[in-house]
Amino acid sequence: DGGITQSPKYLFRKEGQNVTLSCEQNLNHDAMYWYRQDPGQGLRLIYYSQIVNDFQKGDIAEGYSVSREKKESFPLTVTSAQKNPTAFYLCATSSGRLTDTQYFGPGTRLTVL
């Protein structure tokens, strides 16, 4: 079954703790992306990766970190430095060509208590 998997769907953490969100894909796509969605704000790009072992900061990278050790996986760590981490996090993939569609996972809703 092809697609993008994000886990868990809901995540609760205490303030000051780091947390890692999972994103796995079996679409054989080169490019992967992390977005953050807040109510009424649309989606904002956190990090993206066009190839294994390489990634770039997006518009709101502060307080986040990523790795891309495998083509299939692009985990996002929300660190304690992120001032307002409660949000809906969406992972996306594409073939990497500019005109190609980005496909989105189901998302992880992170709540920091």
Partner 1 sequence: GDSVTQMEGPVTLSEEAFLTINCTYTATGYPSLFWYVQYPGEGLQLLLKATKADDKGSNKGFEATYRKETTSFHLEKGSVQVSDSAVYFCALSDTRGGADGLTFGKGTHLIIQP
CB of 64 to partner 1, least distance (A): 14
Give the Å distances, CA to CA, from 79 to 4, 16, 52, 56.
Answer: 23, 8, 22, 17
How does DSSP assign 24-66, residue by residue?
A: EE-S--SEEEEEEE-TTS-EEEEEEEEETTEEEE-TT-TTEEE
Among positions 27, 31, 52, 61, the unique one binding partner 1 when judged by CB under 8 A? 31
Give the number of residues written for the chain. 113
Among positions 19, 21, 33, 87, the unique one binding partner 1 when judged by CB under 8 A? 33
Nearest-angstrom CA–CA distance, 99 and 38: 26
CB of 32 to partner 1, least distance (A): 10
Stretch that binds partner 1, among 19-27, 36-44, 60-68, 75-83 (CB under 8 A): 36-44
Residue pair 80/48 in contact (Cβ under 8 Å)? The answer is: no
Residues 39-58 that bind partner 1 (CB under 8 A): 40-45, 48, 50, 56, 58
Q: Which residues bind partner 1 (CB under 8 A)?
A: 4, 6, 31, 33, 35, 40-45, 48, 50, 56, 58, 90, 92, 94, 96-99, 101-107, 109
